[in-house]
Amino acid sequence: MTVLPAVGRAAECAELQINLKAVADNYKTLTKRYTGRTCGAVVKADAYGLGADTIVPVLKKQGCRLFFVAQANEAADLFPLLRGGGRIAVLNGVLPGDEEFFIENDVIPVLNDLEQIERWSNLCREYERPAPAFIHLDTGMSRLGLTPLDVSTLVDRYSSLLYGFEKAGYMTHPVAADEAENPITKQQYDLFMKWYRRLPPAPRGFCNSSAIFRNDDYHLEFCRPGIALWGGNPTPETTNPMRSVVTLNAKVLQVREIDAAQTVGYGGSWTAKRKSKIATLAVGYADGWLRSLSNNGKMLIKGHEVPYVGRVSMDAITVDITDLPGKSIKAGDMVPLLDDKMTVDDVASAAGTIGYEILTSLGHRYRRVYTEG
Q: List, by residue number, the catalytic residues.
A: 44, 266
Strands (E), the chain: 14-19, 38-39, 41-42, 66-69, 87-90, 108-111, 132-136, 166-171, 204-205, 222-223, 246-258, 263-264, 270-271, 276-281, 298-301, 304-307, 317-320, 334-338, 367-371
Q: With contact defined as beta carbons under 8 Å apart, do 140 and 160 qualify?
A: no
Q: How far apart are the C-alpha atoms of 235 and 212, rounded to whole Å?
A: 10
| DSSP states along 225-291 | --GGGGT--SSTTS---SPP-EEEEEEEEEEEEE-TT-EESGGG-EE-SSSEEEEEES--GGGT--G
How far apart CA 26 and CA 246 sit, in angstroms, is: 13
What is the distance between the alpha carbons of residues 138 and 52, in angstroms, rounded to a whole number?
A: 28
Counting every residue, how long is the chain? 373
Query: What count of other Cβ atoms lies within 10 Å of the Cβ of residue 125?
Result: 13
Q: CA angle at residue 303 from 290 to 366, to 5 degrees?
A: 40
> CA quadruple 364, 367, 371, 373: dihedral positive or negative?
negative
Return the bridge partners of 109, or none.
90
- Alpha-carbon dihedral sign for residues 247, 48, 354, 20: negative
Write the single-letter amino acid at 54: T
Are the C-beta atoms of 60 and 82 separated by less than 8 Å? Answer: yes
Local structure of residue 292 (DSSP, 8 states) = G
